[in-house]
Amino acid sequence: MKAARLFKLLLALALVSLIAVPAVAADFTIKVGTIVSESHPDYICMRDVFKKYVESESNGKIKVEIYPNAQLGGDRELSESVQMGTIQIALPATSAIAGFEKRFQVLDLPFLFTSRESAFEALDGELGQKLDSYLLPSGFVNLGYFENGFRHVTNSRKPVFVPDDMKGLKLRTMENPMHIAFFKLLGANPTPMNFGELYTALQQKTVDGEENPVAIVYDAKFYEVQKYYSLTGHVFSATMALTSKAFLDKLPEDLREIVMKGGREFVLAQRKMIAEQEDKLLEELKAKGMEVNTLTPEQKALFVEATRPVYDQFKDQLGEEIVEIAKKVK
């Protein structure tokens, strides 16, 4: 009996000692904001690659928290939050950064890239490096470019094959002057709107349609409120892992290197995953009831010709330096 009581006493003391030991708190917390859901490659790779790598390599000194579903705002708001220091990383489309740095609009020139391979050759090379340098005065640092794929048009009225099919369509766009300009050239009625409000606007037919890559259309369940998906491929939707110089400067050098390396690992994983998913997701959209149509080279050429004036319209805003680099890409 005494032995049993002694065992219980020792067990109780052991439990008390475990409870009394405080958990080791992280020295730094990285809050990541994104508009996509938990099923999107951005979220999955941020959770399974970046978070895992950074927390492991830092031995718990850095904690990573991810906030999906536009909980913390749309791309514009998330970028502003990085700038203000309320979050540490945002995953915006580069189009949204045009509000901070107009020269980023070069990536929104219609039909600039013909493939994801040519896009990443440029973004990992001279074009991307020059754009990154433009971010520094606003306090931003880019951990790397990844993608949502080429942007295509969805709507609830009719399939789009030629520019004339765009006439009169009330189309949600981002708050991006170049997007607005080239959709006006196509005869559409571009309507800037926060992404978080878009599903309801489509459902209530406040707008007829929108334009987004395959993964976003599927992830946001636009197939529930849109009938037609036309593969116009008008813009390659590059995205970026945006952090702030002020945050990076706070980190000890070893932790800063871990965050930078983790960002690169995330970028490479995301590119691979989203490319592998695209064909599958297109079939899923068809199974969900969307009518998906591909443009012939001749039909796409009509769009290229119709939007050509945008290059001259924005030449002065973009600046000769970045336009010359873009010409080499094109």
Cβ-in-10-Å burial (0-12, 13-18, 19+) of 156 comes to middle
Where would I find the H helices in the chain?
Answer: 2-20, 41-45, 52-57, 75-84, 94-97, 116-123, 126-135, 177-185, 198-203, 214-219, 245-250, 253-287, 297-307, 309-313, 315-318, 320-329
For residue 287, is it within any domain?
yes
User: Has this prediction a pTM greater than 0.75?
Assistant: yes
pLDDT of residue 4: 52
**Alpha-carbon gap, residue 184 to 190, rounded angstroms:** 7
- As beta bridge partners, residue 146 has 239
Q: List, for residues 174-190, the tens digit of each pLDDT value.
A: 888 889 999 999 999 99
> How does strand 140-155 pair with strand 28-33?
unpaired
Residue of 26, 30, 89 whose CA lies nearest to 59: 26
Query: Which 3-state string (H, E, C) describes 61-106?
Result: CEEEEEECCCCCCCHHHHHHHHHHCCCCEECCEHHHHCCCCHHHHH
Length of the chain in terms of residues written = 330
168 DSSP assignment: T
- pLDDT band for position 12 (50/70/90)? very low
- Least confident piece of the model among 44-48, 85-89, 155-159, 272-276: 272-276
| 166, amino acid identity | M
**Half-sphere CA count of 200, side-chain side, radius 13 A:** 5
Q: Are 75 and 93 in contact (CB under 8 A)?
A: yes
What CATH number should be reported for the domain holding residue 178?
3.40.190.170
Q: Is residue 215 part of a domain?
A: yes
Range of the domain at 243: 25-329
Kindly state whether residue 19 falls inside one of the protein's structural domains: no
pLDDT given at position 22: 42
pLDDT tens digits, residue range 25-39? 789 999 999 999 999
Q: Is the pLDDT of residue 17 over 90?
A: no
Which of 1-5, 12-16, 166-170 is modeled with the greatest confidence?
166-170
Worst-scoring range by mean pLDDT, 11-15, 196-200, 213-217, 307-311?
11-15
Q: Is residue 54 part of a domain?
A: yes
Nearest-angstrom CA–CA distance, 116 and 136: 26
Tally of domains within the chain: 1
* 156 pLDDT more than 90: yes
Q: What average pLDDT does the chain have? A: 91
CB-CB contact of 45 with 263 (8 Å): no
With respect to residue 134, please indicate whether it lies within any of the assigned structural domains: yes
Q: Is the distance from CB of 154 to CB of 285 less than 8 angstroms?
A: no
Overall average pLDDT of the 204-208 stretch: 97
Any domain includes 183: yes
Q: Is 284 part of any domain? A: yes
Distances (CA, A) of 8 to 11, 12, 14, 16, 17: 5, 6, 10, 12, 14
Residue 126 lies in a domain: yes
